[in-house]
Chains A and B, each alone.
Chain A
């Protein structure tokens, strides 16, 4: 079973600070690395994604950094706001021999941004 190791499990950041969440994977048969955001009582929703031919992708205050040689990628939230308080999941797209792909998720990071 392919795994994605996500850390930390929980994170507390002051408003305006930088939130950093890290993920590591074991295999190289992946070609798509999305991050999902989940608010309480809601399902996860795609936040930002990156392909391995790019080392960094930025969308507003959210940045994904990708280190292919280290098999790691991370999410940085700049100028963190209380509204960013949610659970964040990294994921990897795994090419499955059955002719389709599936997303494998990390265990999640619960982020709390204090005012």
Chain B
């Protein structure tokens, strides 16, 4: 148990669906992250939130829309996805983006786009 919980663990959606991934951290951290993990590729940083403010949008397509309502919760809203978006989406938190030491990852949400 890392203190970062992601739901759902598995999600299958069509290209025209709208769905959301949820992340909750119980560590009191003030920075939260979305990473994309594809086979044989480096972990790709998608978004960074610091104190509920988005500080990084790493050239992510607009079909991915993040939301951070408070420092403990992070969402990734998905719409009109493509099959190449199928991947493991990892949420992480840390004490801060200014000095990110250890990132605490959730177990991920496995997304399949048909």
Contacts and interface: CB of A to CB of B under 8 A. Distances in A.
Interface string A91-115: 0010010111111111110000000
A100 B105 contact: no
Contacts of B56: 96, 98, 100, 102
B3 to A, nearest CB: 11
Contacts of A93: 100
A106 B42 contact: yes
Q: For this complex, into which size category does the number of interface residues on chain B fall? A: 20 to 34
Contacts, number: 64
A107 B56 CA distance: 21
Contact of B43 (A46, A99, A105): A105
Interface of B: 2, 4, 40-43, 45, 48, 50, 55-56, 90, 92, 96-108
Given A3-B42, A41-B107, A93-B100, 11 more contacts: A43-B2, A44-B90, A44-B103, A96-B56, A100-B96, A101-B97, A101-B98, A101-B99, A102-B97, A104-B45, A107-B41
